[in-house]
Amino acid sequence: MAVRIRLARHGRKKRPFYRIVAADGRMPRDGRYIERLGHYDPMADEDQLTLNLERVDYWLGVGASPSDTAASLIKKARAGSEG
């Protein structure tokens, strides 16, 4: 099983809201996932990003690979938590 850290789209039409999840790579984008790691709302005045970095580090440690977008959001969350 190849675990991926990726975004699952929720919300209504033209108002996306994303959950950042750890999921089996074979599952559909919005399908079943293993664990919810956080959420991201690009439509808010300031991009709202909440991420459990402790669990993200766990999943990366056991071999999960993040999608390109998830990797950039993880990087952004780490930069925000330092300052």
Full-prediction pTM beyond 0.85? yes
State the pLDDT at residue 55: 95
Q: What is the pLDDT of residues 12-66, one digit of tens each?
A: 999 999 999 999 988 888 888 899 999 999 998 887 999 999 999 999 999 999 9
Q: What is the pLDDT of residues 60-79, one digit of tens each?
A: 999 999 999 999 999 999 98
Pairwise CA distance, residues 37 & 12, whole Å: 21
Residue 31 one-letter amino acid: G
> What's the token pair of residue 16?
């996306």
State the pLDDT at residue 31: 84
CATH topology classification for 3-82: S16 Ribosomal Protein; Chain: A; (3.30.1320)
Pairwise CA distance, residues 29 & 47, whole Å: 22
Angle of helix 53-61 versus helix 68-82 axis, rounded to 10? 130
Domain map (residue ranges) of the chain: 3-82
